[in-house]
């Protein structure tokens, strides 16, 4: 294509109609979702500030003993506001302003829990392998300026905010970490969850900047549900998703930063597979646009050095434990995806499919324990 | 839709053209595949015997020290030939004849390894909960008539044959098992692999007939590559897929039997996710058509008793370690999918993505060992 397409859904809807479109949607996306009213005020704000808003609802079967577990989640994807060589403070403040506006729209839509993309306060500059000036974007998860601002917004809007940043941990030798800060709707910092799996692929060896997370697989018990965060490359690791499920997550957010040529055909697969396998909701969030850097860098692929590494394709979406999913946000525009979900669907999916009960975790605990030994002999049958 | 559609690919190709179709394909299926010539003789045979043949190739980058690991795999999906109340011997013989014809076509296409659908010699009658007459379809994995016939064909065509049957194990109290028999191209029975995860969902509590497999996660070293079999419901379990990968599988077959209303939106997700996460090829095979039974049965869903449980939607496909996949076979017709693959792509995907090296199996061995203890305390953070 000469230009980036808006979304695969827009192509399908433009070309396929009526019953055929319904059948394509059923096979590609699962059951039809209820649409959710977007307040006029939000529509106006989205037009004036140039971002997309979409809203859907996943329903569950009414139960007699449990009320519906209704919660509204907001996924935010965005481009950089200023060029990557603008003063750092200005870049951060511009992003704070931009995300502040979209969070306000989320609040008007009744969102209870919002999550931004990976390392949202900065360019995704880890491809450059330069330490300066990118590590200056790092800040304290507990007391940094971004966390302070998010605490204000969380309290103002009575909203849980998941804020994925580059963390500087002063209490542990000033190391860096790729961290999601979880801020309660009370305004308190509930805790943090670090990226467990660190890529060494394509343009990125992120271990140049930070290593594998040491925060385990925490689940945060909020007023609106039990949530967890699986940052970016962790979505390729089914065992990572599994442990959040074992710890009781009902919604797992996957704040990411990934480009088209590398991963786009995998994007609709992995978070959705995790929703199915673990009987919880997954929220996959990717950034948008192309980021240019002042100094050229090479990608270890035999091609000439360059100043960008491709198009972040957005396409943020939510998948449900019954295998259904929302359409994606735009591949090219900033956006807010509002999704109402009845968390009762998690237990209902568990009861319907019985994946947990049939999971044979004892078998795999034992098999894995053997498999990681240096002298492990794979089970291979030869003639 | 009033009738079952032929396939999602046929709908997309009918309605979307040119560059837009290429972009839809890229996002939905990954990189474009080379097409593979189907001999005229096979095309004629397929017309006269009324089955579909499709053929694709996954390529890999040429290496200096390893020759290409080229292998051709055949996936066979089929309807029943005779009604489910025909004499059992006649039903089995009709299926033997039918599959014999399609295996012949596979041989003419140069297929090295062929796999049929789950329990291919019989109706998928486990929804009825009747023992009589269905358990009469069971036979010895090592010496039963189906295995004997497959040994003949394997030797005649120099082909590895994976034959998923209902097994009667005389050496262990005449128990039943859901088993894939692996027959070497020499004609020898190389071994067997049993279904590890048993569904208790929808119309099926298959543990009425057979329990969780006790054969582990065997990988069969054949002349054409290292293969494994993850039968049906095991595709919902990422840990099951993982262990075949740890044991060195390059191709994992997933012979299945699943219907539209239950699982169709999950079908394109799970085997493909496994190919990505484990850096191997996966071959997902589903049966086709609707099977009617003489006696009505109920499904535990509040609906009236009935004599069938829905449409097996075929759609067999192959997914590659780089996340790309073939289109599916028909949703309504018998078919043979021939796929040439260069097994070098497995190690190339491992080196590109580094999922194995970043998998932190030690962490999960430890976490799972803790998690299965009755007194396990999930890692939950509260305010």
Residue B71 near residue B226 (C-beta atoms within 8 A): no
Return the bridge partners of A194, or none: A179
Both tokens assigned to A22 = 């319904």
Average pLDDT over residues B107-128: 98
Asked if pLDDT for residue B2 goes beyond 60, the answer is no
Q: Is A109 a residue of the active site?
A: no
State pLDDT tens for residues B66-95. 999 999 999 999 999 999 999 999 999 999
Altogether, the residues listed in chain A come to a count of: 383
Residue B271 near residue B246 (C-beta atoms within 8 A): no
Hey, are the CB atoms on B273 and A372 less than 8 Å from each other?
A: no
State pLDDT tens for residues B145-190. 999 999 999 999 999 999 999 999 999 999 999 999 999 999 999 9
State pLDDT tens for residues B302-348. 999 999 989 999 999 999 999 999 999 999 999 999 999 999 999 99
Contacts B265 to A, Cβ<8 Å: 26-31, 323-324
Q: In the block, which residue shows the tokens 């296409």?
A: B109
What element of type H or E holds B269? helix B267-278
Pick the catalytic residue from B9, B52, B108, B118: B118
Q: Is A346 a residue of the active site?
A: no
Q: In the block, which residue shows the tokens 């030797």?
A: B155
Asked if pLDDT for residue B7 goes beyond 90, the answer is yes
Distance separating alpha carbons of residues B215 and A310, to the nearest angstrom: 46
What element of type H or E holds A315? none
State pLDDT tens for residues B12-47. 999 999 999 999 999 999 999 999 999 999 999 999
CA torsion sign for B169, B172, B176, B178 is negative
Contacts of B64 (CB under 8 A, 6+ apart): none
Hey, are the CB atoms on A264 and B29 less than 8 Å from each other?
A: no
State pLDDT tens for residues A254-284. 999 999 878 999 999 999 999 999 999 999 9
CA separation, residue A75 to residues A334, B158, B285 (Å): 11, 54, 36
Determine how many CB atoms are found less than 10 A away from the CB of residue B22.
Answer: 13
State pLDDT tens for residues A195-244. 999 999 988 899 999 999 999 999 999 999 999 999 999 999 999 999 99
CA distance A129 to chain B (A): 18
**pLDDT at res. A262:** 82
Asked if pLDDT for residue A1 goes beyond 50, the answer is no
Q: In the block, which residue shows the tokens 């796999």?
A: B115
Contacts B362 to A, Cβ<8 Å: 372
Work out the pLDDT band at A2, boundaries 50, 70, 90: low
CA distance A181 to chain B (A): 13
**pLDDT at res. A260:** 82
Parallel, antiparallel, or unpaired: how do β-strands B34-35 and B52-58 relate?
Answer: antiparallel
Domains of chain B: 1-30 (no CATH), 33-371 (3.60.110.10)
Hey, are the CB atoms on A30 and B265 less than 8 Å from each other?
A: yes
Phi, psi (degrees; rounded to nearest 5) at A185: -65, -10
CA distance B383 to chain A (A): 6
Hey, are the CB atoms on A369 and B364 less than 8 Å from each other?
A: no
Contacts of B159 (CB under 8 A, 6+ apart): B103, B106, B107, B111, B112, B113, B114, B153, B185
Can you tell me whether residue B11 is helix, strand or coil? helix
Q: If phi over 0 gives left and psi between -120 and 50 gives alpha, with beta otherwise, what is residue B365?
A: alpha
Instruction: Supply the mean pLDDT for chain B.
Output: 97
Distance separating alpha carbons of residues A134 and A124, to the nearest angstrom: 9
Contacts B16 to A, Cβ<8 Å: 11-12, 15-16
ipTM metric = 0.97
């Amino acid at each position: 294509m000469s230009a980036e397409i808006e979304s695969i859904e827009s192509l399908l809807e433009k070309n396929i109609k009526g019953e055929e479109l319904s059948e394509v949607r059923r096979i590609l996306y699962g059951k039809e979702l209820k649409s959710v009213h977007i307040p006029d005020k939000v529509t106006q704000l989205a037009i004036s500030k140039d971002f997309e808003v979409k809203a859907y609802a996943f329903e569950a079967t009414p139960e007699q003993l449990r009320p519906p577990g209704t919660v509204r989640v907001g996924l935010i994807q965005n481009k950089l506001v200023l060029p990557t060589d603008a003063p750092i403070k200005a870049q951060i403040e511009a992003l704070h302003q931009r995300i502040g506006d979209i969070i306000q729209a989320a609040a008007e839509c009744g969102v209870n829990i919002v999550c931004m993309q990976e390392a949202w306060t900065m360019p995704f500059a880890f491809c450059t392998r330069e330490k300066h000036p990118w590590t200056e974007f790092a800040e304290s998860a507990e007391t940094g300026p971004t966390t302070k601002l998010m605490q204000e917004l969380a309290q103002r809007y009575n909203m849980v905010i998941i804020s994925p940043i580059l963390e500087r941990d002063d209490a542990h030798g000033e190391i860096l970490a790729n961290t999601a800060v979880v801020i309660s709707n009370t305004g308190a910092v509930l805790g943090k969850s670090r990226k467990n799996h660190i890529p060494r692929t394509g343009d990125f060896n992120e271990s140049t900047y930070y290593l594998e997370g040491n925060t385990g697989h925490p689940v945060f018990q909020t007023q609106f549900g039990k949530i967890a965060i699986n940052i970016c490359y962790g979505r390729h690791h089914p065992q990572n998703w599994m442990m959040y499920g074992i710890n009781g997550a009902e919604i797992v957010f996957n704040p990411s930063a990934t480009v088209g040529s590398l991963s786009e055909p995998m994007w609709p697969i992995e978070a959705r597979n995790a929703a199915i396998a673990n009987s919880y909701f997954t929220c996959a969030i990717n950034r948008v646009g192309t980021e240019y850097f002042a100094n050229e860098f090479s990608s270890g692929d035999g091609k000439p050095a360059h100043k960008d590494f491709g198009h972040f394709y957005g396409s943020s979406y939510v998948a449900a434990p019954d295998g259904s999913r929302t359409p994606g946000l735009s591949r090219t525009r900033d956006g807010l995806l509002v999704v109402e979900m009845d968390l009762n669907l998690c237990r209902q999916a568990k009861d319907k499919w019985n994946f947990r009960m049939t999971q044979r975790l004892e078998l795999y605990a034992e098999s894995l324990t053997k498999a990681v030994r240096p002298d492990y002999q794979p089970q291979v049958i030869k003639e």
